[in-house]
Structure 1
């Protein structure tokens, strides 16, 4: 009964979040985290095992939806010139981040956290400004690659902290490499198979389907690949993301499937995850520890500085304007979902303490609020002559 009451209260918060977001102009993800923090602080709901499990499913479903933004066939159209610029961007990003972490003697988890990327807020910006904006179009393309890189880094970090520099770490990395090779082979075999037997796609996901076969197959892929990667000792995020990529790559004709899954995810599971994240914030401790706000602000400054520097080196000649370069860097500096995920993983692996975890969550909230406002100001008031 207690679980049902908790979910009923959370459902009310999920319904309220869009209204609060619309009134305050704060990104809905940030609103959900704040509502979760306030509701838990005032004792409106409590944590339970069922809530924790469903929140984990919500996060994995979000990664599944992010994977659906990646159509591997589209990578061929990006061109060598773009991939070269993107390669320079990521190289500068990780080299500078690693150097800063070593110089400042920060925990190694920061090497993964500072350059981390996520498509969530980029997709929200596309809804507001349109995909035809050069800075947003580039942010989406770079974000897709960045999300893949971020997942790989998270898997490596997980192995490093779990096993240390032992043979078990190298076994995990070998399993990861072997698994990725198998997935690449599956993609190639699937491509040939569907070319020879085009009706096989329609058998799996018919055009006109009264039984929601597309949803059923997607859920089978989602949970099936998650179970496989966990069994292999890899990060569950990888399985969810790959499941989304498979759906996007092989079944692009099912346009309504994306809308269906987005409705399911962003209508319940994803908001529940962010409310859960907010509820892990100890507001009493945070309000009485100003240093957490300072630490969160410093993380924000480090992340935007890192991206501004890297974007200037890699894409200055591409944009030919400081405005678009800055807008790109800002749009790339709001990896709310993956920053939260990295912090959660760091806490779980004891790679960071509780206070650092809170600082990262505060940084995610600051980025979501401040950078969306700054983007709007730069976009509207900075006129290119």
Structure 2
């Protein structure tokens, strides 16, 4: 019992200190959590307790729920460039896997390298002061669109892996669609109900009610999404992402409520997932020249898969330099590479060695490419300042 309590405390202590280190060295917290998990569970804690595995799975599901909540479909639609956002992601998801197959590699590995995520994109843009600029808004739009398509691709791969090109795969996707259509109707009905009682909405989303009825409801909804996906035969995280997306679409104005949702996730549950990813990483792989070499090649492949903004610079309305910045920042999909690798392991499409190389790839890409983008960001900020009119 004491050993379990000590393990829990050490994990939480690392989760507490990592944000300070991340800000100090300008590194993504998730990357440091993975490194902490590698060190802790390979050198100090030899066994992973059952409670840790449970919390890791809960963090995984909640991470994808928050990722779904970040997806602002209305913003993407109103941008007027949603077609080009989709095209950027589609080029990555078609050309990269085909290139991998042509080189004798796994199609699924190519898909994993092509994953796009907004998890690092948005914080880096905010830090650089570019999140409200036209360029920043476009990068966010592409990242969110790519994240949605990443989840849809993983859903299709999951169905194909289980059933192949058969009617059973179609039935699974149809069942999943019907379940989440039902979830949408339930949340929409709930929205209409509380619309007639605005004071109730205020109490749930803005008050300091110590009972936190709204937070309890949303956490339940997040895990209900995972359950719905399991009932449809799909991965639970796919369900939690879709429910998060539906919730964000129905309840557009969330106020401080969203801060509370993020606080539960990033302050408690989600670190268990990333530390758990590191815990499953065999330390010996770091000593393998082949694994390190594979990770270095995959890191370059991640950037190559995100070069499509350079081809679409004109319709996107950006310069080649700005398109290069887009490509660099989109090449840091830490969470989605880890998610895809984790699902690939479950499906038997990714070997433990390849999974280790993917984790190293996620770490390298999430550190290297945002750092290079920050160099360009100074140029973008300078150009924006010089182009702004002088004060009256």
Over 3 Å counting, the alpha-carbon distance change for 1:180 and 1:314 in structure 2 is farther
Over 3 Å counting, the alpha-carbon distance change for 1:350 and 1:109 in structure 2 is same
2 CA distance for matches of 1:201 and 1:162? Answer: 44
Over 3 Å counting, the alpha-carbon distance change for 1:22 and 1:210 in structure 2 is closer
Q: How many Å apart are 1:294 and its aligned residue?
A: 1.1
Instruction: Please give the per-residue CA displacement for 1:181-234, whole angstroms capped at 9, x wherever unaligned.
Output: 445555666666666x35496388364344312101111211222212111112
Query: Mind listing any 5+ residue stretches in structure 2 that lack a counterpart?
Result: 387-392
Instruction: Please give the per-residue CA displacement for 1:47-105, whole angstroms capped at 9, x wherever unaligned.
Output: 122211101111111111112212444344233xx022123223322221232132123
Q: What's the counterpart of residue 118 of structure 2?
A: 119
Q: Are residues 1:129 and 2:128 paired?
A: yes
Alignment of 1:1-385 (within 5 A): 1=1, 2-44=3-45, 46-79=47-80, 82-130=81-129, 131-183=131-183, 197=196, 199=198, 202=201, 205=204, 207-208=206-207, 209-287=209-287, 289-308=288-307, 310-380=308-378
Query: Mind listing any 5+ residue stretches in structure 1 that lack a counterpart?
Result: none
1 CA distance for matches of 2:58 and 2:314? Answer: 40
Check whether the contact 2:116–2:150 (CA below 8 A) recurs between aligned residues. yes
Q: How many Å apart are 1:316 and its aligned residue?
A: 3.7
Identify which range, 6-15 or 183-192, moves more after superposition.
Answer: 183-192
What SS does structure 1 have at the residue aligned with 2:312? helix
Q: How many Å apart are 1:128 and its aligned residue?
A: 0.4
Instruction: Please give the per-residue CA displacement for 1:263-294, whole angstroms capped at 9, x wherever unaligned.
Output: 1111121122111111111112331x111111
Identify which range, 181-190 or 91-100, moves more after superposition.
Answer: 181-190
Over 3 Å counting, the alpha-carbon distance change for 1:174 and 1:333 in structure 2 is same
1 CA distance for matches of 2:212 and 2:117? Answer: 29
Over 3 Å counting, the alpha-carbon distance change for 1:91 and 1:243 in structure 2 is closer
TM-score normalised by L of structure 2 = 0.88
1 CA distance for matches of 2:296 and 2:19? Answer: 26
What SS does structure 1 have at the residue aligned with 2:172? helix
Check whether the contact 1:13–1:35 (CA below 8 A) recurs between aligned residues. yes
1 CA distance for matches of 2:206 and 2:30? Answer: 33
TM-score normalised by L of structure 1 = 0.90
Aligned pair count reads 380
Check whether the contact 1:135–1:327 (CA below 8 A) recurs between aligned residues. no
Check whether the contact 2:298–2:361 (CA below 8 A) recurs between aligned residues. yes
2 CA distance for matches of 1:16 and 1:76? Answer: 39
Over 3 Å counting, the alpha-carbon distance change for 1:200 and 1:380 in structure 2 is closer
Check whether the contact 1:34–1:278 (CA below 8 A) recurs between aligned residues. yes
Over 3 Å counting, the alpha-carbon distance change for 1:251 and 1:94 in structure 2 is closer
1 CA distance for matches of 2:371 and 2:378? Answer: 11
Q: How many Å apart are 1:314 and its aligned residue?
A: 2.3
Q: What's the counterpart of residue 389 of structure 2?
A: none
Aligned CA RMSD, in angstroms, stands at: 2.5
Q: How many Å apart are 1:177 and its aligned residue?
A: 3.6
1 CA distance for matches of 2:210 and 2:126? Answer: 30
2 CA distance for matches of 1:157 and 1:48? Answer: 31
2 CA distance for matches of 1:76 and 1:25? Answer: 33
Identify which range, 314-323 or 223-232, moves more after superposition.
Answer: 314-323
